[in-house]
Amino acid sequence: MYSKYAEKQNWNQKILDSHPSELNGFKEIIFELKSANGGGDVFSKMKYEAGVHRVQRIPETEKQERVHTSTASVAVLLKPKKTQIKINPQDLRIDFYRASGKGGQNVNKRETAVRITHLPTGLVVTSQTERNQLQNKENAMSILEARFLKRKEMESLEKFGQKRRSQIGRAKRAEKIKTYNFPQNRVTDHRIKKTWHNLEEIMKGKLEEIIKKQNEMLEDLKN
């Protein structure tokens, strides 16, 4: 859904790391979105997608037509500018290992996957999508820098009161923000209490109306 929305926005997208599941899905996928013209509209549009998304559907293997519910957690991190983040290389432990695919099979026989540990904070990131160490290391550093910036922002917010903290993103909240109900062909945003009934088109990336409405209403609530 987000990939197709990015295509409609003419954004550049790059997968930084992914962990496929044995059910033809993903346990986790990390990707970067960037405006093709260098503009700053990507984060402003995507920031309120962070949270828990609930999916209600009838799986193909379900013989009794029962609706199954699952969730996906979405985090939206701003990629820091080089001047915002300074990470001491001596604080990093970098390990290389063989990238693996579905079922634990080796994607290649060389140790191209990268794991970076930031020793002072314990932050650990990985990347295995590229076929060489250098590119995977660059991807992993991009993930680490974004998470490091988010961590610093959250630590700063803890110094302020509840009123200020409530105005920051919803990254630490565990409640669901949206429900995608396939049998009823609807998407509901629980924060602004709005529902759309064109789920198939939404899954194809038709998100502009939703994003515009949720951002307008959530910005009003924040202010």
> Of 123 and 108, which is predicted with more confidence?
123
pLDDT digits (tens, 9 = 90+) for 12-57: 999 999 988 887 888 899 999 999 876 668 999 999 999 999 999 9
CB 72 within 8 A of CB 53: yes
- Poorest-confidence range of 20-24, 95-99, 170-174? 170-174
Which CATH number among 2.50.20.10, 3.40.50.12280, 3.30.420.40, 3.30.70.1660 corresponds to the domain 2-76+176-222?
A: 3.30.70.1660
* pLDDT score for 160: 59
User: Which residues neighbour 169 within 8 Å (Cβ) at sequence distance 6 or greater?
Assistant: 47, 48, 50, 76
Question: Residue 171 pLDDT > 50, yes or no?
Answer: no
What pTM was computed for the model?
0.77
CA dihedral of 98, 100, 106, 111, whole degrees rounded to 10: -10
* pLDDT score for 64: 85
Closest CA to 17 of 112, 106, 158: 112
Closest CA to 73 of 169, 140, 172: 172
- The gap from C-alpha 93 to its chain's centroid, in whole angstroms, comes to 24
* pLDDT score for 91: 96
* pLDDT score for 103: 42
- Tokens representing residue 106 in the block: 């080796």
The domains of the chain are located at 2-76+176-222, 89-157
Question: pLDDT confidence of 163, banded at 50, 70, 90?
Answer: very low
Closest CA to 117 of 151, 150, 91: 91
The answer as to CATH 3.30.160.20 being correct for domain 89-157 is yes
Question: Residue 175 pLDDT > 80, yes or no?
Answer: no
- Tokens representing residue 213 in the block: 């409405």
